[in-house]
């Protein structure tokens, strides 16, 4: 390495420079030390009296004040989640003499649950000694039980608090979620000082997704307490000020900032109607406003009572919910994936029309089953029977599988996959709460990625045939299907589904509404949109329409499609008979619809697990949701 400067090194000059730097550093060191000593003199000599009294006779405690959690409204201002006064049992760790025995004694009085013993002990240990840790919620009776024995429990207290209350209970469970006690895991991901006074945190659904909006900001007040923990001085109580204020300088308080209230897209009338219609079944219903992506209803049954979570569910009760065979904690609307069955046919038709795979007025003959050329495997007509000659319109109206078996081979799997992808199949719909599954949109490319063994990766024509009727690998969630249906209703002008439509400032009460966002439009020829819509209207109105009975007598046109998702594969020579199959292996029943067909305002997807044929179980649920929606026409007309 060349070092041109070497010859020019002037050592005496460098030494002088270094000396001047060291002298400067020495001066700075002395100045800073002087500053530090002055500070120490100020603390230890000038302010000695104040600090001495603070540390010796008194304890200086900062009492955190919880913010009120924001209220959740539906689109009409109906309260879905609010705060109600309640009693809480709290522990102040540093004042408890024997934690183990105190907890045992509380268990004997049935004020806390035995199974929570270790959890509560760890929770108390993980807080600072003076922090109040919530142990449980108390009924009025329990509060009285404790009140008369309070002297036996130093460090344990009851305090009034606001508890979360969900007036609609089960009906809002899966959409709104619930709040629960802050767990050790939650403590890892939150700003602990913001939650110093809060005992609950959003655990699921909207409560979790908008936790930071709803929670608000913690407040505090500084207090002086004596060794027994009795408050000697509290700046918010004026009478105290004169007695001890000479001891304390600068005691402060800061009021908590309440959380913001949020306005959801839900319409509780629809939500209740859907819950009522599905209450005895396992299933899900999602209703979306195609003009904005607003989720008007989102129901999954069976559900659970979120108020039990807010009140503090015991471990045993929670375990009972998790092992329930009907899986009430699973949100089927977002996380249930099912084959879409025939509900996929209108989308396949649009793809076929776009690619001119067939003249829609040309008829194909339906003999009740279909064979691929040179193969003996039978692709059966879903409901059995022989439809005879079918054009595309009739094939949608009567849900002819054989027509779509043939049509899908004419389109080809790549175009089918691309066409369905545009409607959002195979990807999460983007609802603003957690837990959505993406389902499966099968294609040769998907298969190559999904399977590692080469022989599993090949795509067979028979799989194209199955995809054409929404069977085989394809899986969708009820939310995805409702979203695709909404996009179809809006003739391709899709919006991401959303819950949050407005935020009300917790203090000023000013409401800010959020504009809906748009997705990349799905482009199709207007005539093709009309063709498919007319066929779907035929499903609910024509003589052979599969949902004619279910939609009979409605005053507006409904574009609909039934679907039947196979759970159980019957043998080649057998016939599927509902009575013969175990209830849990029966077909799932789908119905999707939008209405009014000419000017759609609502799109719905409903699944009833093991409900059998689409028209029999799911269509009546859709009808009840539509009735609830249009019964409120007066309100709908005055919508913002």
Partner 1 sequence: MSLANLEWGRTTGAGRWRPLGGLVVDVPLIVLLCLTAGVGGVVLYSALGADMGLLMRQGMRFGLGLAAFFVLSQVPPRYLRIFTPWVFFLGLALLLVVMVEGEIGKGAQRWLDLGVVRFQPSEILKLAAPMMVAWFMHERRLPPTFMQTVAMVLIVTVPAFLIAEQPDLGTALLVIASGGLTILLAGISVWVMVAVAIAGLCAAPVLWHFMHDYQRARVFVFLNPESDPLGTGYNTIQAKIAIGSGGLFGKGWLNGTQAHLEFLPERSTDFIFAVMGEEFGLLGLLVLVVLYLAIVGRGLYIALQAQDTFTRLLAGALSLTFFFYVFVNAGMVSGLMPMVGVPLPLVSAGGTSMVTLMAGFGMLASIHGHRKLMAP
Query: DSSP state, 403?
Result: H
Considering 136, 342, 399, 443, which one is annotated as catalytic?
A: 342
Taking the C-alpha atoms of residue 586 and residue 581, their distance in angstroms, rounded to an integer, is 6
Q: Least separation, in Å, of the C-beta of 349 and partner 1?
A: 47
18 or 460: CB nearest partner 1: 18
CB-based contact 203:111 (threshold 8 Å)? no
8 or 323: CB nearest partner 1: 8
54 or 581: CB nearest partner 1: 54
Q: Least separation, in Å, of the C-beta of 161 and partner 1?
A: 18
229 or 612: CB nearest partner 1: 229
Query: Per DSSP, which regions of 191-288 are E strands?
Result: 200-204, 219-225, 231-233, 253-254, 261-264, 283-288
Three-state DSSP state, 222: strand
Q: Least separation, in Å, of the C-beta of 94 and partner 1?
A: 8
Burial category of 481 from C-beta neighbours within 10 Å (exposed 0-12, middle 13-18, buried 19 and up): buried
Smallest CA-to-CA distance from 558 within 601, 617, 614 is with 601
CA distances from 493 to 293, 484, 515 (A): 10, 11, 15
Taking the C-alpha atoms of residue 621 and residue 626, their distance in angstroms, rounded to an integer, is 9
26 or 521: CB nearest partner 1: 26
Taking the C-alpha atoms of residue 319 and residue 305, their distance in angstroms, rounded to an integer, is 15
Burial 4-37 (b: 16+ CB within 10 A, else e): eeeeeeeeeeeeeeeeeeeeeeeeeeeeeeeeee
Q: Least separation, in Å, of the C-beta of 129 and partner 1?
A: 6
Taking the C-alpha atoms of residue 377 and residue 371, their distance in angstroms, rounded to an integer, is 6
35 or 320: CB nearest partner 1: 35
Phi-psi region of 42 (alpha: psi -120 to 50; beta: other; left: phi over 0): alpha
218 or 395: CB nearest partner 1: 218
Q: Least separation, in Å, of the C-beta of 241 and partner 1?
A: 20
Q: Least separation, in Å, of the C-beta of 96 and partner 1?
A: 14
Burial category of 261 from C-beta neighbours within 10 Å (exposed 0-12, middle 13-18, buried 19 and up): buried
Host H or E run for residue 186: helix 184-189
Host H or E run for residue 623: helix 614-631
Taking the C-alpha atoms of residue 171 and residue 449, their distance in angstroms, rounded to an integer, is 39
CB-based contact 296:483 (threshold 8 Å)? no
Q: Least separation, in Å, of the C-beta of 394 and partner 1?
A: 57
* β 261-264/72-73 pair status: parallel
Q: Least separation, in Å, of the C-beta of 53 and partner 1?
A: 8
Cite the DSSP H helix spans in 302-344.
306-310, 315-323, 332-335
- In the chain, what are the helix, strand and coil shares in percent, each to the nearest 5? 40, 20, 40
212 or 375: CB nearest partner 1: 212
Burial 314-353 (b: 16+ CB within 10 A, else e): eeeebeeeeeeeebbbbbbbbbbbbbbbbbbbbbbbbbbb
CB-based contact 501:265 (threshold 8 Å)? yes
* Counts of helices then strands in the chain (DSSP H, E): 26, 22
Interaction site with partner 1 (CB under 8 A) = 3, 5-6, 8-11, 14, 17-19, 21-22, 25-26, 29, 32-33, 35-37, 39-41, 43-45, 47-48, 50-52, 54-56, 59-60, 62, 64, 94, 128-129, 191-193, 196, 218, 220, 222
Q: Least separation, in Å, of the C-beta of 224 and partner 1?
A: 12
Taking the C-alpha atoms of residue 534 and residue 279, their distance in angstroms, rounded to an integer, is 32
Taking the C-alpha atoms of residue 195 and residue 187, their distance in angstroms, rounded to an integer, is 9
Q: Least separation, in Å, of the C-beta of 247 and partner 1?
A: 13
165 or 220: CB nearest partner 1: 220
CA distances from 201 to 68, 320, 386, 505 (A): 12, 22, 58, 19
CB-based contact 294:106 (threshold 8 Å)? no
ω into 302 cis (within 30 of 0) = yes
Q: Least separation, in Å, of the C-beta of 236 and partner 1?
A: 15
The reply to whether 198 belongs to the active site is: no
- φ/ψ of 566, rounded to 5, equals -75, 135
Residues 6 or more apart whose Cβ sits within 8 Å of residue 117:
103, 104, 107
Q: Least separation, in Å, of the C-beta of 43 and partner 1?
A: 4
52 or 517: CB nearest partner 1: 52
Residue positions annotated with a catalytic role: 342
């Amino acid at each position: 390495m060349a070092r041109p400067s070497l010859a020019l090194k002037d050592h005496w000059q460098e030494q002088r420079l270094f000396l001047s730097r060291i002298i400067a550093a020495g001066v700075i060191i002395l100045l800073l030390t002087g500053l530090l000593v002055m500070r120490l003199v100020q603390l230890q000599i000038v302010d000695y009296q104040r600090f001495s009294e603070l540390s010796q006779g008194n304890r200086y405690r900062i009492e955190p004040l919880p913010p009120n959690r924001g209220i959740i409204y539906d689109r009409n201002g109906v309260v879905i989640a609010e705060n109600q006064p309640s009693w809480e049992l709290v522990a102040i760790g540093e004042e408890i003499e024997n934690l183990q025995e105190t907890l045992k004694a509380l268990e004997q009085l049935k004020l806390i649950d035995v199974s929570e013993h270790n959890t509560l002990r760890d929770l108390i240990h993980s807080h600072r000694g003076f922090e109040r840790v919530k142990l449980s919620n108390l009924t009025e009776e329990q509060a009285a039980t404790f009140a008369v024995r309070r002297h036996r429990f130093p460090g344990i207290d009851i305090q009034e608090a606001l508890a979360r209350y969900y007036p609609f209970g089960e009906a809002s469970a899966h959409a709104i979620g619930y709040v629960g006690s802050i767990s050790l895991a939650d403590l890892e991901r939150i700003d602990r000082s913001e939650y110093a006074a809060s005992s609950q945190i959003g655990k699921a659904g909207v409560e979790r997704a908008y936790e930071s909006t709803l929670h608000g900001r913690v407040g505090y007040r500084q207090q002086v307490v004596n060794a027994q923990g009795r408050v000697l001085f509290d700046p918010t109580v004026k009478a105290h000020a004169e007695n001890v204020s000479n001891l304390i300088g600068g005691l402060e308080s800061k009021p908590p900032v309440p959380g913001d209230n949020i306005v959801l897209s839900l319409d509780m009338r629809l939500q209740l109607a859907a819950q009522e219609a599905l209450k005895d079944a396992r299933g899900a219903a999602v209703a979306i406003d195609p003009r904005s992506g607003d989720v008007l209803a989102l129901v999954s049954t069976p559900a659970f009572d979120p108020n039990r979570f807010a009140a503090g569910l015991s471990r045993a009760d929670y375990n009972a919910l998790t092992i329930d065979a009907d899986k009430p904690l699973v949100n089927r609307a977002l996380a249930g994936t099912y084959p879409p069955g025939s509900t996929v046919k209108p989308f396949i038709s649009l793809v076929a029309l776009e690619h001119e795979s067939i003249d829609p007025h040309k008829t194909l003959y339906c003999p009740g089953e279909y064979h691929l050329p040179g193969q003996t495997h039978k692709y059966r007509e879903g409901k059995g029977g022989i439809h005879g000659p079918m054009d595309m319109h009739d094939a949608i109206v009567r849900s002819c599988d054989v027509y779509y078996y043939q049509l899908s081979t004419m389109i080809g799997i790549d175009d089918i996959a691309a066409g369905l992808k545009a409607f959002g199949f195979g990807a999460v719909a983007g609802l603003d709460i957690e837990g959505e599954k993406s389902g499966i949109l099968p294609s040769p490319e998907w298969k190559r990625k999904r399977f590692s063994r080469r022989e599993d990766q090949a795509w067979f024509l028979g799989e194209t045939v199955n995809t054409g009727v929404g069977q085989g690998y394809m899986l969708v969630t009820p939310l995805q299907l409702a979203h695709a249906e909404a996009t179809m209703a809006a003739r391709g002008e899709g919006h991401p589904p959303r819950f949050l439509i407005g935020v009300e400032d917790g203090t000023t009460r000013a409401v800010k509404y959020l504009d809906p966002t748009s997705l990349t439009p799905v482009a199709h020829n207007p005539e093709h949109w009309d063709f498919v819509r007319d066929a779907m209207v035929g499903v609910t109105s024509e003589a052979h329409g599969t949902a004619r009975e279910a939609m009979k007598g409605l005053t507006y046109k409904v574009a609909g499609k039934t679907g039947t998702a196979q759970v159980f594969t019957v043998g080649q020579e057998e016939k599927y008979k509902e009575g013969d199959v175990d209830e849990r292996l029966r077909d799932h029943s789908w119905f999707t619809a939008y209405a009014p067909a000419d000017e759609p305002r609502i799109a719905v997807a409903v699944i009833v697990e093991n409900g059998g044929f689409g028209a029999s179980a799911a269509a009546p649920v859709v009808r009840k949701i539509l009735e609830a929606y249009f019964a409120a026409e007066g309100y709908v007309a005055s919508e913002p």
